[in-house]
């Protein structure tokens, strides 16, 4: 069923935003640190029109679900929470938002660390900007999207995903300083291609997950070290003065920022791969956001000739692995070996 079949009119406008895969710089964004994401080909598209009644109506093609909600209602659950959050935040900024119909379709995989929620927020905000001629730029869209995630979906996230979805493309990495929002695009290291494989274990990051706990631990570590954010520490030895587990959490963030900065200075594909491998070890051992299946998959990838490096990508606790490879055909071998161990993986990018 398309927009017209669902809502009885043609859409007034539409907008689209991609998911992202993060190559380096995990759990650094809410520490004011550095990240290196790139957009993926999968996108979320929203079509929009005006609602004939006093409610907003959101329809998800993938879920075949309609959610109708008035501005004064409580936040709905699921996909609608992100859209509702974006609308409410625009209204709080003083924009007059009439009741709207929004039709969502997406190819961004959900729950694997490729930012399906940021793609929905950014597409929604760009769609509303177009529908209502709102004077907001792509960075403001990322900032509002991040607040929608925090205030309406309960994930105390950083700004990487929304910045990547709003500003990145599939041809170059976005090197972003999440404190200043200064950014530049960087070519992928010559000779490397991106491969993303789903481990088959899906994650749920929001309220109650280890994600918000990790962020709180980082803030506590920064407080104990007397800095504004862990970004302000560059020597991993400094973390040793902290009690566990804050010591490990801080060490991950400090070393991860250093890895991103080294990669951004321009390194060979081999060195970039080594940095990815070190990033995975740090996420697994210090930040403790990996799971067995992901570790197995990363391990297989790292041993296959033609793979420069591999790591867990995104928030963790399951999800996908990103690898830098000579050619993506090696995926067949990896999936076979992963399957022989009793797991089911899937190539996503
Ligand atoms: C999730 C969050 F939304 C991001 O802000 C970031 O912290 C990431 O996990 C981990 O690097 O995608």
* Nearest protein Cα to ligand 1, atom 3: 157
Domain co-membership, 29 together with 139: yes
**Looking at residue 207, what is its pLDDT?**
59
- The verdict on 10 and 131 lying in the same domain is yes
Residue 25 alpha carbon, nearest atom of ligand 1: 11
Per the structure, the complete domain to which residue 204 belongs is given by: 188-347
Residues 112 and 192 in one domain: no
Q: Residue 235 pLDDT more than 80?
A: yes
Q: What is the pLDDT of residue 234?
A: 98
Which element (helix H / strand E) includes 69?
strand 65-69
Q: For 1-38, write each residue's pLDDT tens digit.
A: 999 999 999 999 999 999 999 999 999 999 999 999 99
Final residue of a domain: which of 170, 185, 200? 185
Cα distance between residue 136 and residue 138, in whole Å: 7
Instruction: Kindly state whether residues 180 and 200 are assigned to the same domain.
Output: no
Measured from the Cβ of residue 345, the count of other Cβ atoms closer than 10 Å reads: 24
Query: What is the domain-level CATH number for residue 140?
Result: 3.30.230.10
Q: What is the pLDDT of residues 108-160, one digit of tens each?
A: 999 999 999 999 999 999 999 999 999 999 999 999 999 999 999 999 999 99
Name the residue at shortest CA distance from atom 9 of ligand 1: 315
The stretch 248-256 carries a mean pLDDT of: 98
Report the pLDDT averaged over residues 251-256.
Answer: 98
Which residue in 92, 59, 91, 101 sits closest to 78, CA to CA?
A: 59
Beta-bridge mates of residue 56: 69
Which of 133, 164, 185 corresponds to the end of one domain? 185
Same domain, 193 and 124: no
Give the closest residue (by CA) to ligand 1 atom 1.
Answer: 315
Same domain, 181 and 195: no
Residue 336 Cα to ligand 1 midpoint, Å, equals 30
Tokens representing 190 are: 């010559």
Q: How would DSSP label each residue in 270-293?
A: HHHHHHHHHHHHHIIIII----HH
CA 23 to CA 38: how far, in whole Å?
7
* Same domain (yes/no): 198, 173: no
pLDDT band at residue 206 under the 50/70/90 scheme: low
Q: How far is the CA of 147 from the centre of ligand 1 (A)?
A: 13
Count how many domains the chain has: 2
Q: Are residues 29 and 135 in the same domain?
A: yes
Q: Which of 158, 165, 260 to mutate to test the pocket of ligand 1 (most atoms within 8 A of CB)?
A: 158
Is 220 found in the same domain as 159?
Answer: no
On average, the pLDDT of the chain sits at: 97
For residues 257 and 236, membership in a common domain is answered with yes
**What totals of helices (H) and strands (E) does the chain contain, helices first?**
10, 12
The verdict on 168 and 231 lying in the same domain is no
* Sign (positive or negative) of CA dihedral 336, 340, 343, 344: positive
Tell which residue, 347, 324, 327, 19, has the closest CA to residue 188: 324
ipTM over 0.90: yes
**Any idea what the CATH number is for the domain that residue 246 is in?**
3.30.70.890
Question: Does residue 208 have a pLDDT over 70?
Answer: no
| Ligand 1 binding residues, C-beta < 6 A | 22, 26-27, 29-30, 115, 157-158, 160-161, 314-315
Q: Residue 209: what pLDDT?
A: 74
For residue range 285-318, what is the model confidence (pLDDT) as tens digits?
999 999 999 999 999 999 999 999 999 999 999 9
Q: Are residues 168 and 243 in the same domain?
A: no
Boundary-marking domain end, from 144, 159, 185: 185
Atom of ligand 1 nearest to the CA of 159: 5
Q: Model pTM greater than 0.90? A: yes
């Amino acid at each position: 069923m398309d927009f017209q079949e669902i809502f009885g009119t043609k859409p007034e406008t539409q907008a689209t935003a991609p998911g992202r895969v993060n190559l380096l710089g995990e759990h650094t964004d809410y520490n004011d640190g550095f990240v290196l994401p790139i957009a993926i080909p999968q996108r979320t598209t929203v079509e929009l029109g005006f609602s004939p009644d006093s409610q907003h109506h959101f329809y998800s093609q993938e879920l075949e679900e309609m959610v109708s909600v008035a501005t004064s209602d409580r936040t709905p659950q699921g996909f609608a929470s992100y859209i509702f959050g974006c609308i409410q935040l625009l209204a709080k900024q003083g924009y007059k938002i009439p009741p709207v119909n929004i039709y969502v379709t997406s190819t961004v995989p959900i729950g694997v660390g490729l930012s399906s929620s940021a793609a929905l927020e950014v597409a929604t905000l760009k769609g509303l900007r177009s529908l209502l001629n709102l004077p907001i730029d792509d960075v403001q869209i990322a900032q509002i999207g991040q607040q929608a995630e925090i205030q309406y979906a309960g994930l105390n996230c950083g700004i990487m995903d929304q910045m990547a979805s709003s500003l990145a493309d599939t041809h170059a990495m976005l090197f972003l300083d999440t404190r200043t929002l200064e950014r530049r695009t960087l070519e992928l290291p010559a000779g490397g291609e991106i491969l993303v494989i789903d481990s088959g274990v899906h994650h749920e990051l929001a309220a109650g997950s280890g994600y918000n706990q990790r962020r709180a631990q980082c803030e506590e570590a920064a407080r104990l070290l007397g800095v504004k954010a862990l970004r302000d520490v560059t020597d991993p030895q400094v973390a040793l003065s902290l009690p566990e587990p804050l010591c490990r959490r801080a060490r991950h963030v400090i070393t991860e920022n250093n890895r991103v900065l080294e990669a951004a200075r321009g390194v060979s594909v081999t060195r970039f791969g080594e940095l990815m491998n070190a990033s995975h070890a740090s996420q697994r051992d210090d930040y403790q956001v990996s799971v067995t299946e992901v570790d197995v998959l990363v391990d297989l990838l790292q041993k296959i000739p033609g793979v420069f490096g591999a790591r867990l990508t995104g928030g963790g606790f399951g999800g996908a692995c990103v690898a830098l490879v000579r050619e993506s055909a090696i995926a067949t071998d990896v999936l076979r070996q992963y399957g022989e161990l009793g797991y089911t993986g899937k190539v996503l990018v």
